Amino acid sequence: MGGVLSAVLPVLIVSSATAKPEPGAFQVAQAEGQGDPAPAKPQAVRKPRPKPVAHAASKAETPPKTTPPAPTVAPTAAAADQATPPAAPAAAATDPAAVVAEPVRHAREAKLGRCVDTISKASSSTIDTAHAAVSTWSQKGPDEHMFQSIVALSYSNKVAPKAATVLVAAPEGPGCEATTVQVYPTTRSCGDVEGDLKKAGRQVGDFGGVAMTQEQGASRHLLLPAPGTGCVVVAVGLALNQ
């Protein structure tokens, strides 16, 4: 299994208000007495002029008609539809069988031959939700060396929404072998989890306060008490070329 492992494929988008000058009082300087009215001169008495003939009062001009502006017409339904962007098409139902796990896609892109089927089986048993993966393999001899994928899992559980899986596969003879490690937290106590795991397997032992159970086959679970009352489950699986 020599060789340098390389080629990590990420899977993973800031007035001044000018005061108005107050209007000043306009003053005119004048000498004393300049403002006194001049004495009135006697005027000759004039005969009254004859009154002009009264004419009929002309009709007042009719003010021009002002037409009020036409009210804004609301757009018709058809126009409104044209202005509305088209709705996004409904997402097609996803067939779980048609979803390709990221480690499998990476293995195919790397042109792994013998290990693609093994990686596919290991992925289907450890990846069951939305995920992102980073994989590593040998560029010079992808089908002659180990393949590794680190997977981040996202669940809808708001209390413990994240988990992780590590998948390692290596060619062995004409076939391929793989091992997987799953790490996921839970709010349940390790005692409760252990009770459920025993129903499908058996208790292997207690290693310094860390319980271990084994399911039928090669899958084993380490139960790590978390701060508080929770538990971190570490599941280790092995797929041998038999």
pLDDT, tens digit only, all 242 positions of the chain: 444 333 333 333 233 333 444 444 333 333 334 444 444 444 544 555 555 444 444 444 444 444 444 444 333 333 333 333 333 333 334 454 568 999 999 999 999 989 999 999 999 999 999 999 999 999 999 999 999 999 999 999 888 899 999 999 999 988 999 999 999 999 999 999 999 998 888 888 888 889 999 987 778 999 999 988 999 999 999 988 76
80, part of any domain: no
Predicted local confidence at residue 11, as pLDDT: 34
pLDDT at 135: 97
pLDDT of 49:
55
Residue 131 is predicted with a pLDDT of 96
Q: Residue 234: which of 133, 224, 153, 152 has the closest Cα?
A: 224
Query: Bridge-partner residues for 170, per DSSP?
Result: 177
In a domain, 210, yes or no: yes
Token look-up 């084993």 returns: 220
**Nearest alpha-carbon partner for 8 in 114, 106, 101:** 106
What are the percentages of helix, strand and coil residues in the chain, rounded to 5?
15, 30, 55
Instruction: Report the candidate in 162, 171, 183 with the shortest Cα–Cα distance to residue 143.
Output: 171
Structural domain includes residue 93: no
Q: How much is the pLDDT for 205?
A: 85
In a domain, residue 191? The reply is: yes
- Residue 204: CA count within 13 A, CB half-sphere: 17
At 183 the three-state DSSP class reads: strand
- 105 Cα distance to chain centroid: 25
Domain membership of residue 199 (yes or no) is yes
Per the CB < 8 A criterion, the answer to whether 179 and 118 are in contact is no
Residues 114 and 171: their CA atoms lie apart, in Å, by 7
The residues near 112 (Cβ < 8 Å, ≥ 6 apart) are 119, 137, 142, 143, 147
Alpha helices for 4-87 (secondary structure H):
77-83
Q: Which two tokens stand for residue 196?
A: 């459920």
DSSP assignment string, 116-165: HHHHHHHHHHH--SEEEEEEEE-SS-TTTS-EEEEEEEE-S-SSS-EEEE
C-alpha dihedral (153, 156, 157, 163), degrees to nearest 10: 0
| pLDDT for the residue numbered 240 | 85
Pairing mode, if any, of strands 147-154 and 162-172?
antiparallel
Task: Domain of residue 190: give its range.
Answer: 100-239
Q: How far apart are CA 190 and CA 231, in angstroms?
A: 5
For the chain, how many structural domains are there in total?
1
Residue count of the chain, please give it. 242
pLDDT at 76: 34
Domain assignment present for 78: no
Specify the pLDDT at position 50. 52
pTM of the complete model: 0.58
